[in-house]
Amino acid sequence: MIRIRFVAAAVPAAAADARILARGGAALEAPDLGCALAASGDGFIGVAGVEADATLTPDDAETLGRRIGAAVARPGVARVVTEFALGPDAAVALAEGLILRAVPLPGLRGKPDAEADACPDEALIATRDAELAERAWAKREPVIAAALWARGLVHLPANRLDPAALEAEAESLAALGVSVTSIVGGALAAAGLNLIHAVGQAAATPPRLVILEWPGADANAAPLVLVGKGITFDTGGISLKPPANMEEMKGDMGGAAAVLGALRVAASWASPVRVIGLLAVAENAIGANATRPGDVVRACDGSTVEIVDTDAEGRLVLADALAYAAESFSPALSVDLATLTGAVVRSLGHARAGLFSTSDAAASRIERAAAASREAVWRLPLMREGDDALDSEVADVKNCGWGTAPDAIHAASFLSRFAGGGAWAHLDIAGTADSPALTDRERRGPRGWGVRLLADLISDLETDPWTSSPA
């Protein structure tokens, strides 16, 4: 990751490969919050789209940082210096944006690509209070490192990251003091986790529930439970997906990656908040023993589910994980994240995740964390109108019902039945998990979305512990 230093005074030009100046009187011009970069005799000179006495919000500073990151991610730029002083919060946000845009995704090429792999080693960022910015960055740097880790996992193809490999990534957190256990294959049925088993039973690598525990200051406190959908590849099962763009289904474990990142942050911070992570991990494959449309499977809470569409598998694995969490951990607050529905993409695009919750207090906490992290959400209704579409003639519930309401709403309603009596929130990140195009703000591909939001939720709970009723 790019090393960040905050400086209160200008750094001599010879110390930088790229100097980023404020707009005004410069030979180059940059649009607001943009960055124009040109070669010079000493390396590169850039002009940021701000005035010399820049006063930026953290949101705008992150945008500017991303655009600087896009400009300087090129061969020959090892050290970047910004020469306009920001407030400490804005300086930290600029550092976040610069790193998230400039750092490339893990390379899978057999031969190096100097252009694609280029990334600065160090950035010196001018600020009006370097000491305060350094203190803030000491807490923020582990969050950005975790987000980069998470997006790197989502980037890996399914032959590099199957359910066992994702479990191994979780086990790497044991070195930070996180307890990691797993329920694998046939043991899922013995534990009542039949929905997870049903989704992954046709795959060569068995499905599993991976359980991560960070004890916090009180290992007996009611925990924050984070549940992540971990489908390492989704063919759709017998309800087979169309072939176009199916390769993108390697990223159907973005929710699990976000939860892993959040547990890494909690451990890195030595957070006093007790955090439990549950990864519902499977590959939704096709085979002679694949689950069929019409199969009826008993969930962890004892209810039965008629699986009418095997491509609505994410809600099945989450349902078991949520029910297991409610029974095993009595959470103060549970939050699940999943690349779940196309409907939420059609509704909100790629800029906001869909937020559903049984609790106004929980929704408010998520919205607060979203604002702090700059990972935006939009609350959508848990509508009971149209819920009869989930009624089954042969089981307690169907896993989906088409046509009467947007599927994102049906999916959230289905999940709410398994979340227990405590406060619960569901984040449908199907639109936000990936950036669909290369821009000066983002690389195309996974974003590591959700790590920053969950980190800010944990931080919020550190200073304002959860005491609200489920309502």
Strands in 295-298's sheet, in edge-to-edge order, are 295-298, 304-307, 397-398
Which pLDDT value is given to residue 346? Answer: 96
- Please tell me what DSSP assigns to residue 339: -
Backbone angles phi, psi at 135, to 5 degrees: -65, -45
- Tokens representing 244 are 């176009």
CB 127 within 8 A of CB 91: yes
Residues designated as active site = 241, 315
**pTM for the model:** 0.97
- Please tell me what DSSP assigns to residue 283: E
Task: Outline where 330-450 has alpha helix (H).
Answer: 342-348, 360-373, 407-416
**Tens digit of each residue's pLDDT (9 = 90 or more) over 415-442:** 999 999 999 999 999 999 999 999 999 9
| CATH H superfamily, domain 3-128 | Leucine Aminopeptidase, subunit E, domain 1 (3.40.220.10)
pLDDT above 70 as % of the chain: 98
Distance from the Cα of residue 88 to its chain's centroid: 25
Could you give the CA distance from residue 67 to residue 36 in angstroms, rounded to a whole number? 9
Which pLDDT value is given to residue 470? Answer: 45
In order, the DSSP letters of 287-315 are STT---TTEEEE-TTS-EEEES-TT--HH
Domain 149-463 = CATH 3.40.50.300: no
Could you give the CA distance from residue 242 to residue 283 in angstroms, rounded to a whole number? 17
- What type of residue is 98? L
Could you give the CA distance from residue 196 to residue 201 in angstroms, rounded to a whole number? 8
CB 249 within 8 A of CB 156: no
In order, the DSSP letters of 240-259 are PPPSTTGGGGGGTTHHHHHH
- Tokens representing 217 are 């200051």
Could you give the CA distance from residue 95 to residue 113 in angstroms, rounded to a whole number? 25
Which pLDDT value is given to residue 9? Answer: 78
Which pLDDT value is given to residue 402? Answer: 76
Q: Tokens 């998230």 correspond to what residue?
A: 100
**Tens digit of each residue's pLDDT (9 = 90 or more) over 177-225:** 999 999 999 999 999 999 999 999 999 999 999 999 999 999 999 999 9
CB 172 within 8 A of CB 180: no
Q: How many of the other CB atoms lie within 10 Å of CB of 388?
A: 9
- Tokens representing 118 are 């280029």
Below-50 pLDDT ranges, the chain:
470-471
CB 373 within 8 A of CB 146: no
Strands in 224-234's sheet, in edge-to-edge order, are 179-184, 208-214, 275-284, 224-234, 333-338, 423-428, 353-357, 377-379
- Tokens representing 321 are 């994980």
In order, the DSSP letters of 195-231 are HHHHHHTTSSSPPEEEEEEE-TT-TTSPPEEEEEEEE
**Could you state, in order of their start, the residue ranges of all structural domains in the chain?**
3-128, 149-463
